[in-house]
Amino acid sequence: MNPAAKLILQRLLLGILTLLAVSMAIFAAVEFLPGDLAEATLGQEATEETIAAIRRELGLDRPPVERYFVWLGNIVQGELGVSYANGRDIVEIMGGRTENTLFLAAMVAVISVPLAVGLGIVAALYRNSLIDRLINLISLSAISIPEFLIAYLLIVTLARSGLFPSFVVIDDTTTLGSRIYQSILPALALTVVVSAHMMRMTRASLINVLSSAYVEMAHIKGAPKPAVIIVHALPNALAPIINVIAINLAWLVVGVVVVEVIFVYPGLGQLMVDSVGKRDIPVVQACSLFFASVYILLNLAADIGSTLSNPRLRHGR
């Protein structure tokens, strides 16, 4: 078997095992949430018989191991169950919320990836210059500030001035232009943090490749600096850049939880936080498993992309 194909197959099997382990961790973590759903639903004055009846109806009287395998079997069949809070199908509840979260993540990716790679190339091209130091200063500052603080700073500076709304109101009737306009502040809050990580990795990878002999030969032959960077250096620095881009995009989908809560963005993060407060266990489990699946899949994509960008693995030498 080709080394690249073998490595990809190993990564896929490892991803499945990782997802299975994460599903166990999610189920166990939800089990340890404080409080009791039946008591929270019926109130403190409910009788023990009524509470027991609700627990039987919801299947909470069965052992946790049995409930885990029932839940896992339903997921394999594409059934996420129904919400304890309102009795609606969880797939229906998560449908629009998932679209909103992925829209926000896509919006951030479209802005941050070209920006970060472009700034990384500029920083590597003018290494140790004033431009390089300024870009590094900005990126280090962005990495050091948590996203929730960046979100609040954007609200104070841009939302209070009336340029953009401080909270997001979108639904199925919202036009694309309005959706983009209302999502600008949460997208900017995420872009600042994500771009900094990708920019620094792009710069570091290019600087490492620029010290190679074939790059020095291209300089000796008189090739212009931009051509040396884009044609000779960048293709050979793609593996770590692909890795950090995929990992940061995975963080985007998972890390939107805090930003969604701050801007009241109607996405999966806001849904999960609301469901934790209501002890809506099936919705919390479904949202957590979705975030974990996206993170694992994008990390697999990073591994596979790095493999395919490495000629030695592609050709078996």
Task: Provide the pLDDT for residue 267.
Answer: 86
The candidate with the shortest Cα–Cα distance to 84, out of 301, 276, 307, 293, is 276
**DSSP structure class, residue 82:** B
Model confidence at 316: pLDDT above 60: no
Whether the per-residue pLDDT at 223 is higher than 80: the answer is no
Whole-angstrom Cα distance, residue 149 to residue 155? 10
The C-alpha atoms of residue 312 and residue 2 are separated, in whole angstroms, by: 11
Average pLDDT for residues 140-147, to the nearest whole number?
A: 84
pLDDT digits (tens, 9 = 90+) for 67-102: 888 888 888 887 888 887 777 888 888 888 888 888
Summarize pLDDT for 164-189 with one digit per residue, the tens. 888 888 877 888 888 899 889 999 98
Mean pLDDT throughout 214-239?
74
More confident residue, 308 or 298: 298
Output the DSSP codes for the chain. --HHHHHHHHHHHHHHHHHHHHHHHHHHHHHT-SS-HHHHHH-TT--HHHHHHHHHHHTTTS-HHHHHHHHHHHHHTT---B-TTT--BHHHHHHHHHHHHHHHHHHHHHHHHHHHHHHHHHHHHTTTSHHHHHHHHHHHHHHHS-HHHHHHHHIIIIITTTSS-SS----TT--HHHHHHHTHHHHHHHHHHHHHHHHHHHHHHHHHHHTSHHHHHHHHTT--HHHIIIIIIGGGGHHHHHHHHHHHHHHHHHHHHHHHHHTT--SHHHHHHHHHHHT-HHHHHHHHHHHHHHHHHHHHHHHHHHHHT-HHHHHT-
Q: How confident is the model at residue 150 (pLDDT cuts 50, 70, 90)?
A: confident
89 DSSP β-pair partners: 82
Contacts of 85 by beta carbon, 8 Å cutoff, 6+ apart: 275, 278, 280, 283
Residue-averaged pLDDT of the chain: 80
CA distance 147 to 76: 35
Catalogue all structural domains in the chain, each as residue range(s) with its CATH number. Answer: 3-34+80-315 (1.10.3720.10)
User: Region 248-256: what's the mean pLDDT?
Assistant: 77
